[in-house]
Amino acid sequence: MKRYISKLKDFNELVMFEHSIFSLPFIFIAMIVAADGWFGFTLLILGVFAAVSARNFAMGLNRFADRDIDALNPRTASRPNVDGRLDPFSIIIFTAVNALVFIGVAYMINPLAFALSFPILFILGSYSYFKRFSSLAHIVLGVSLGLAPIAGVVAVSAEITPWSVMLSLGVIFWVAGFDLLYSLQDMDFDKERGLHSIPSKYGSQTTLLLSLFFHLLTIVFWALFVWIAELGTYAYTAVLLSAVMLGYEHFLVRKDFTKIDRAFFTVNGYLGIVFFILIVLDKAV
């Protein structure tokens, strides 16, 4: 039993399950707005399974593809895909199982969700290889998480609405913006190994400015989401607080690069939760 528990902990460390906090709130935000309130326990359960399996697939494939790179980077050399705790075959099986779970859950939701599950998995999987030939990897990661609101509204109403596109675009630039900040940690390593990232190609100052621009776009698109969806004061407050939190994130990183982890995990984690709570309040009131 201890062996199985230990192995589960290794897989948890592999995919960093707690990082699901970045996408889950925006899936449920889309579902709440699409349903004009509570969308039911069935969709709640299916939504969680879809989100978690999709992310596990993406992270599992990423760890499999990056095991040679991770082994050379001091920051990632202790990951389970590198230090021998999880062999490549186990990671592939884990990844494949999660892909099948995602497709199965999508089939149970509705035909459009099922049809979209295949291109979604392709996009999620492509991120793992992009940084080997293009600096657009940051945008691809943003698109990967930006699909979450689209998936949420498709699950409820089997359509893609204009406001959900605005919400998704906001998520895309939010994620791409904080990934730029996070990738500053590997700027020198990426440059040495010939990996493509905006920090390694253009330097830290350009990266900071581009991240700030992306986050300004985030606020614009989220404000458009609230306006097009005809939401109220609490929703606009969510956008305003998001702007404040993103501003604080940039303040932390510009002040001290050692604060990147705090900015990445703490600020962005709370942002999604706060946004979700305020949208719930907006619909409730």
pLDDT at site 78 = 76
For residue 274, the SS3 value is: helix
pLDDT at site 72 = 72
- Amino acid identity, position 153: V
Domain region containing 251:
2-284
How many domains does the chain contain in total? 1
**Using only C-alpha atoms, what is the Rg of the chain?**
19
- Residues 6 or more apart in contact with residue 175 via CB below 8 angstroms: 22, 141, 142, 144, 145, 146
pLDDT per residue over 6-58, tens digit each? 666 766 666 676 666 667 899 999 999 999 888 889 999 998 899 889 888 98
CATH number of the domain where residue 274 is located: 1.10.357.140
Which among 25, 37, 95, 34 has a CA at the least distance from the CA of 64?
A: 95
Q: Residue 248 CB: number of other CB atoms within 10 A?
A: 13
Report which of residues 198 and 3 the model is more confident about.
198
What is each CA distance from 202 to 70, 111, 131, 215, in whole angstroms? 22, 44, 15, 19
pLDDT per residue over 200-259, tens digit each? 888 888 989 999 999 999 999 999 999 999 999 999 999 999 999 999 888 888 876 665
Check whether 141 has a pLDDT greater than 90. Answer: no
